[in-house]
Amino acid sequence: MFPCSSCGICCQNISTIKELKEYDLGNGICKYFDRINNKCIIYENRPQVCRIDEMFEEEYNSFFSKKEFYIENAKVCNILQEQYKIDKNYRINIEEI
Ligand code: SF4
Ligand code: SF4
């Protein structure tokens, strides 16, 4: 399973994700993101684009190994976290993937 650290920053930056156009509050924040508790309120029913493991199986497994796919996703997580000054404890350790 992808080692998501549950920082929540991806759910607050969805404006470029076409599959989530209807979810965007207009400021890039998903309408299903609970900012107080830092979590998705429809987690069990979230769309496929929000499911990294399913996206790998359905769309990317002929292009990347799972490890490569995880690393590329984790790099984006860490860049977003840096950009938004998220606590360093949330960084994904790419060496451990
Ligand atoms: S940005 Fe990455 S680590 Fe943070 S919640 Fe999203 S998938 Fe998880
Ligand atoms: S549906 Fe849930 S997991 Fe997907 S962007 Fe919105 S809050 Fe995040």
User: What is the pLDDT at residue 72?
Assistant: 97
Question: Residue 14 and residue 64: Cα distance in Å, rounded?
Answer: 23
Is the distance from CB of 33 to CB of 11 less than 8 angstroms? Answer: yes
User: Is the beta carbon of 52 within 6 A of some atom in ligand 2?
Assistant: no
Closest C-alpha to 52, from 96, 7, 10: 10
Nearest ligand to residue 90 Cα: 1
For residue 87, what pLDDT band results from cuts at 50, 70 and 90? very high
- 47's CB contacts (< 8 A; 6+ apart) are 19, 20, 23
Distance from the alpha carbon of residue 97 to the mean position of ligand 2, in angstroms: 23
User: Is the beta carbon of 11 within 6 A of some atom in ligand 2?
Assistant: yes
pLDDT > 90 fraction of the chain, expressed in percent and rounded:
100
